[in-house]
Structure 1
């Protein structure tokens, strides 16, 4: 090879080497390893589903198809089903709805009532026999995770239609079978279940304006922003970061699923699920750490 050509090629190779950055795959791989290392310090099982919004989305998935008890994360599907019925003209958000505390088990139709001591929203219990609206019940279901509001809405909307609404969004595994505290169903293993991947798809639909409609998606985003329980995804994020999300918890289970919006307008979807937690507070802390790690990763990327 001619000496001049050889030197030219050498200079070109050096230039490419100096200006190339680590591959996106390598960067995400390192992040995944760091997340796994953090979660491995806690006794329990976890799933993570993360995807940035935009023309070139970054995705990070860990145990994304593993099944978890949905706990209160199933309330986001109920909200979507509500807005779908509104869009179809079957109901209006400001229609009156009677507040009741008697529901039917999916096992045999026998009646059961909600226990105030295990609900996170006690205000509605003082209004039993009175009337509210779909809009207010939805707000209480999401913001305060009211189980009573949830059961009233599921009774009106039909759990099967809630699951059907999720299938229309591409969520193939999430199952909304029943309302909350149906003990007969629980004893027979009939519980609402989800995967991190499906919750990611659902939150993506809301973030992208594709859950029912752009207008409905924006309205749902605003309701999710009002979330009262903020220990996990927003737990270690700056106050100027917006998080529209829905949590969930039962024994040994702590979940969070939502949309994170940076001050510059960039968004990403994050789902953090856990089960078999020996010490729930440790699980919460670990997932909050993971949320911070993903935020810092996105913040550090060029827009």
Structure 2
């Protein structure tokens, strides 16, 4: 049984769709019962190296990434810092002017549509990469994201994601490129892709010596109505949310007391409200938490 669960975990990380180990079948059943007809609108991937478990419900369903695309951007930035190409204290000039990937035409971001509007007040001034990364991750700043991704190059961000096993994620552009959106040139992901990236972070492989910085930035997330809401108060959760019309996501590394963390990614589409989707995500998180923290550690 232990071997089948380990094989499932390795297959999920390697790219194949695993058969569930017998000891995770009750969790699979519980989630399907919880979600009911919403199984078609909710994708779940749970990776737990302690229990040698990989669970995927619709883990290969492709969706608009929304702000979860900021996870591979953050990883790429940290890798470049680790390589000595950048320093966290390097500065970028704040400017609200970007080029569409469709035809190079200029576009700007609307502060009213950004979850962090204060950065726009500093246009024309330099801001450190560290602060931009904090704003991109914790506050989901679109302006900070576009400044960083323009410096990094989306192609290199995607190449790094592929290197870490996210073999179908598409990082094409920054955010709010209206022409690209209308042309269908969007950033897309699967729950499996994000789980692989976060597993690399949890295991310390994502960005070398700068991986702890990635974790700390994800721990600072300010939007906590989805996965964290389903966990006991005070639980450490390093995560990135994302939402646009009809899309609400949360991708997390969860740190139960006294054991290694596990990864949980829940992507949703088609709900009438963000609050409804967040409620489904938190219910999934609560179900997975109960299973992960009450199941005996196989090492004991």
Distance 2:207 2:39 in 1: 39
Residue 30 of structure 2 corresponds to 34
Q: Which secondary structure state, in structure 2, belongs to the residue aligned with residue 73 of structure 1?
A: helix
- CA distance in 2 between counterparts of 1:40 and 1:247 reads 23
Partner Cα separation in structure 1 for residue 39 and residue 120 of structure 2: 37
Please state how far the C-alpha of 1:195 moved relative to its aligned partner.
0.5
Mapped to 2, the partners of 1:270 and 1:264 lie a distance apart of: 18
Correspondent of 1:216 among 191, 210, 215: 210
**Are 1:277 and 2:268 matched, yes or no?**
no
Equivalent residue pairs, number: 278
Matched residue, 1:172: 167
| CA RMSD between the two structures | 1.4
Structure 1 partner of 2:17:
none
The reply to whether residue 127 of structure 1 matches residue 122 of structure 2 is: yes
Q: SS of the residue aligned with 1:154?
A: helix
Structure-2-length-normalised TM-score: 0.89
Structure-1 residue corresponding to 2:10: none
Q: Equivalents in 2 of 1:279, 1:239: separation in Å?
A: 25
The equivalent residue for 2:57 is: 62
Structure 2 counterpart SS, 1:129? coil
Name 1:91's counterpart in structure 2. 86
Query: Of 245, 267, 290, which residue of structure 1 is paired with 2:239?
Result: 245
Task: Give 1:1-303 correspondences, 5 Å limit.
Answer: 25-40=21-36, 42=38, 45-54=41-50, 56-213=51-208, 215-303=209-297
2:12 maps to which residue?
none
2-structure distance, mates of 1:223, 1:280: 24
In structure 1, the gaps of 5 or more residues are 1-23
Contiguous gaps of at least 5 residues in structure 2: 1-19
Work out the CA distance in 2 between the residues paired with 1:275 and 1:93: 35
User: What is the CA distance between 1:220 and its match in structure 2?
Assistant: 0.6
Report the CA distance between 1:33 and its aligned residue: 1.8
Aligned residues of 1:240 and 1:262 also touching (Cα < 8 A): no
Q: CA deviation at 1:42?
A: 4.4
* Distance in 2 between residues matched to 1:43 and 1:221, nearest whole Å: 30
Q: Residues 219 and 122 from structure 1, CA distance in 2 versus in 1: closer, same or farther, beyond 3 angstroms?
A: same
Compute the displacement of 1:260 (Å). 0.2
Q: How far 1:107 moved relative to its partner?
A: 0.4
Mapped partners of 2:176, 2:33: distance in 1: 36
Going from structure 1 to structure 2, the CA distance change for 1:297 and 1:132 (only over 3 Å counts) comes to: same
Per-residue CA shift, 1:9-45, capped at 9, x if unaligned? Answer: xxxxxxxxxxxxxxx8344222112212222254961
Check conservation: 2:21, 2:53, Cα contact below 8 A: no
CA-to-aligned-CA distance 1:57-109 (integer Å, 9 cap, x gap) = 21111111110100000001000110121122221110111001000000000
Preserved contact between residue 176 and residue 193 of structure 1 (Cα < 8 Å): yes
Which has the larger Rg?
Answer: 1
Kindly provide the CA deviation profile for residues 194-214 of structure 1, in whole angstroms up to 9, marking residues without a partner as x: 01001000000000000021x
